[in-house]
Chains A and B, each alone.
Chain A
Amino acid sequence: DARVTQTPRDKVTEMGQEVTMRCQPILGHNTVFWYRQTMMQGLELLAYFRNRAPLDDSGMPKDRFSAEMPDATLATLKIQPSEPRDSAVYFCASAQSGGGYSTDTQYFGPGTRLTVL
């Protein structure tokens, strides 16, 4: 049963600390997304990669957030320094996009619940 995995599931940290969230996409998927969910803003896209290359990170605060894909099986989202307003659930999703078998259907991981005190 292929699924997207995320670690950690929960993270509580103090303001100013660095936070790293990790995502393992579904094997064979070439597109990876980072979303953030808050009560006020709902679900919003932060960044996404295709074939490990960043395609769009316009939703991400550039001064403190960074997203990378060191290899095809790992995506990371870092916040440095973290602030209380970053408290949210961060979801990773993956999809097989483009090409003959593409459906663009996005599959979501369980999320990382981040609390910044």
Chain B
Amino acid sequence: GIQVEQSPPDLILQEGANSTLRCNFSDSVNNLQWFHQNPWGQLINLFYIPSGTKQNGRLSATTVATERYSLLYISSSQTTDSGVYFCAVLTGTASKLTFGTGTRLQVTL
């Protein structure tokens, strides 16, 4: 099956710093989503981005499908950005999302 790798696995930032999270996948995908799992465990949709670039406030994402990677940018990080960020992909005709192992982000004051 498809492999989804995320880097870095852990990241500690000071409030106000910028960061880039990466998601590599091993095969063509039909869909890619970024999620934020907050410290209470809730999985929150950030982006649906099979290709191209999208922005939402301080967050933006770019997927380069031909090169099989996606990037999530967080600018001016805040403590509320802490949690785990997952990318997940859909392949083939199935609707099964395959999740990466996540990047654990901690934003400190």
Hey, which bits of chain A sit against chain B, CB under 8 A? 31, 33, 42-45, 48, 50, 55-56, 89, 91, 95, 97, 103-108, 110-111, 113
Verify A50–B42 contact, CB threshold 8 A: no
Q: Is B90 an interface residue (CB 8 A)?
A: yes
Verify B33–A111 contact, CB threshold 8 A: no
Q: Chain B 85-100, CB within 8 Å of chain A: the 1/0 string? A: 0101010001111010
| 13 A-B pairs whose Cβ atoms sit less than 8 Å apart in the complex | A31-B95, A33-B95, A43-B86, A43-B88, A43-B99, A45-B96, A103-B48, A104-B31, A105-B31, A106-B33, A106-B45, A106-B88, A111-B43
Residue count of chain B within 8 Å CB distance of chain A? 20
Known interface pairs A110-B41, A110-B42; A105-B33 also in contact (CB < 8 Å): yes
Hey, which bits of chain B sit against chain A, CB under 8 A? 30-31, 33, 35, 41-45, 48, 86, 88, 90, 94-97, 99, 101-102
* Distance between B7 CB and nearest chain A CB, rounded to angstroms: 15
CA distance A113 to B48 in the complex (A): 26
- Residue from A55, A103, A106, A110 within 8 A of B97 (CB atoms): A106
- Chain A interface secondary structure, helix, strand, loop or mixed? strand
Given A89-B41, A97-B95, A103-B48, 10 more A-B residue pairs with CB atoms under 8 Å apart are: A42-B99, A43-B86, A43-B99, A50-B95, A56-B96, A104-B95, A105-B45, A107-B45, A108-B42, A108-B44
CA distance A9 to B2 in the complex (A): 32
CA distance A95 to B33 in the complex (A): 13
